[in-house]
Amino acid sequence: MTKHKDNKTEEQILKAAQKIFQSKGMDGARMQEIADKANINKAMLHYYYRSKQLLFEAVFKKAFSLLAPQLNAILNDDSSLEDKIKNFTHNYISFIIKHPYLPNFIIQELNRNPDFIEKIKNNVAFPNINKFKLQVKNEVKASNIVSISAEQLFINILALNIFPFVASPLIKAFTDIDDKTYKMLLEARKKEVSDFIINAIKK
Amino acid sequence: MTKHKDNKTEEQILKAAQKIFQSKGMDGARMQEIADKANINKAMLHYYYRSKQLLFEAVFKKAFSLLAPQLNAILNDDSSLEDKIKNFTHNYISFIIKHPYLPNFIIQELNRNPDFIEKIKNNVAFPNINKFKLQVKNEVKASNIVSISAEQLFINILALNIFPFVASPLIKAFTDIDDKTYKMLLEARKKEVSDFIINAIKK
DNA sequence: ATTAAGTTTAACCATATGGTTAACAAAATT
DNA sequence: AATTTTGTTAACCATATGGTTAAACTTAAT
């Protein structure tokens, strides 16, 4: 973390910890399992990260700082609302397809410990909704879109983009869809979702 | 479970287990904590439910059979598509406001162990999408709504309804909204969401 | 009143688990 | 080359945890 050189071991640990924590969560993860996956002695985990909690926080912060900046595309970009929605939806779904564990990991752990987000706010570039609020307000005032609050629209955009990844086992079961078909369905959502949203706010 | 009479203890245990499991998950829950909350000796847990796993399954099945039938309102009701969306959205959000832990619990535990849903399918009334598929196909063919697959529409409906509960800590942080305001925002969604969906599929 | 069955308790057990220690090896510094 | 610092290991430790047991107690049937 601080005193160590460019160490390889430290990275190995973080990589292994990422995999284990992201698939099993803080409570389900075992230090021994992380050590095994990293091919190192368990004591090394403590040598580099002191405790399970700190190792977890390192993993969480990294995950969060990977996910959060993506939201700047919708919140702080200068493009038009319609372009934003199109681009964000396309890029975000592409991004999550490459990191399918991410949203669920973050949501799960934030629910386990909601106060944790305060710690994060001070350590990570944290997106802010203010600019987006202004933009939506203006579009509504100009009668370009239906009357909707920025918050509700933001929630809807996030919901439509993220939920299918978080709830995949549930959705697969209800729709009787296998893994392959589900992947195609997610792929199709890159366009489907933005069409859906844009239509929803059109007058 | 089987040999026992109308026992009160058994119910106390299940109630306590519900609270603990639903807020901490299988991995985070402790048998001792459940016993404490139920005001009984820890051995009683095993006397009535044999193991942590079986107690957990009892809780999960009960939660699932509470949540799943709600979906029949959208999948197997006889009303028109528009009515369905209106009613479902309103009822479902009301329902989840009363059981805020439910969706997250089920999603989290299904992600932890996706095979688990197979066990459930045999034990619980399990909604099926077929009827809804026909209905959507007909509405599309009749040009009453835009071209959309039943699966994608179903996912969108679930996403917009459930996600705000599952991701509340995240959304609260990004939008800088406090608990009280968030509750009002959820309340407003009973109508907002159905308007949003209906507008989205209108031609 | 006696017995049998079901219920409850305290004490106990084996193992898993996060974490520590002391000795040792390898670099880096002098 | 000698010494200090950093990295690594195996063995160990204290505690937490799911689960068991045997005995005590309660209830209801005989």
B42 CB neighbours strand C below 7 A: yes
Cα angle A34, A35, A36 (rounded to 5 degrees) comes to 90
Please report, rounded to whole angstroms, the spatial distance between the CA atom of protein residue A28 and the C1' atom of nucleotide D16: 15
Give chain B residues 47-106 with Cβ within 7 A of strand C: 47
**Boundaries of every domain in chain B:** 1-50, 59-201
In Å, how far is B53's CA from the nearest CA of chain A?
14
Write out the DSSP string of B81-133: HHHHHHHHHHHHHHHHHHSTTHHHHHHHHHHH-TTHHHHHHHHS----SHHHH
Question: Which token pair is A51?
Answer: 């405790």
Q: Which residue of A has its CA nearest to B174?
A: A128
Say whether A152 and B192 touch across the interface (CB within 8 A): yes
Confidence at residue B5, expressed as pLDDT on a 0 to 100 scale: 55
B30 CB neighbours strand C below 7 A: no
Burial (CB < 10 A; 0-12, 13-18, 19+), residue B61, is: middle
pLDDT band at residue A6 under the 50/70/90 scheme: low
In chain A, residues with a C-beta closer than 8 Å to the C-beta of B159 are 159-160, 162-164, 167
Q: Which amino acid is at B123?
A: N
The pair phi, psi for residue B142, each rounded to 5°, is -80, 5
Please report, rounded to whole angstroms, the spatial distance between the CA atom of protein residue A22 and the C1' atom of nucleotide D10: 29
Q: Which nucleotides of D are covered by protein (CB under 7 A)?
A: 6-11, 16-22
The hierarchical CATH code for the domain B1-50 is: 1.10.10.60
The pair phi, psi for residue A167, each rounded to 5°, is -105, 25
Residue A2 has pLDDT above 50, yes or no: no
Closest residue (CA to C1') to nucleotide D27 in the complex: B5
CATH architecture of A60-201: Orthogonal Bundle (1.10)
Q: Does B175 touch chain A (CB under 8 A)?
A: yes
Write out the DSSP string of A144-174: SS-S--HHHHHHHHHHHHHHHHHTHHHHHHH
Interface list for B 80-139 with A (CB within 8 A): 104, 106-108, 110-112, 114, 117, 121, 126-129
d(CA B198, CA B145): 9
B133 CB neighbours strand D below 7 A: no
At A121-140, the pLDDT tens digits run: 888 888 899 999 999 999 99
Give chain B residues 95-154 with Cβ within 7 A of strand C: none
Say whether A117 and B160 touch across the interface (CB within 8 A): no
Say whether B128 and A176 touch across the interface (CB within 8 A): yes
d(CA A144, CA A137): 10
Judged by phi (left if over 0) then psi (alpha if -120 to 50, else beta), residue B126 lies in: beta
Confidence at residue B1, expressed as pLDDT on a 0 to 100 scale: 40
Inter-helix orientation angle A168-175/B102-112, to 10°:
90
Confidence at residue A1, expressed as pLDDT on a 0 to 100 scale: 40
A197 CB neighbours strand C below 7 A: no
d(CA A23, CA A11): 18
Mean pLDDT across chain A, nearest whole number? 95
Which positions ≥6 away from B65 have C-beta within 8 Å?
A: B124, B125
Mean per-residue pLDDT pooled into runs of 10, chain B (203 residues): 66 98 98 98 98 98 93 92 97 97 97 90 88 97 98 98 98 96 98 98 94
Distances (CA, A) of B85 to A152, B62, B114: 18, 26, 28
Q: CATH class for domain B59-201?
A: mainly alpha
Q: Does A184 touch chain B (CB under 8 A)?
A: no
d(CA B168, CA B179): 9
Confidence at residue B2, expressed as pLDDT on a 0 to 100 scale: 43
Inter-helix orientation angle A102-112/A52-75, to 10°:
120
Confidence at residue B125, expressed as pLDDT on a 0 to 100 scale: 83
The pair phi, psi for residue A120, each rounded to 5°, is -65, -40
Mean pLDDT confidence for A175-196: 97
Maximum CA extent, chain B: 63
At A53-92, the pLDDT tens digits run: 999 999 999 999 999 999 988 999 999 999 999 999 999 9
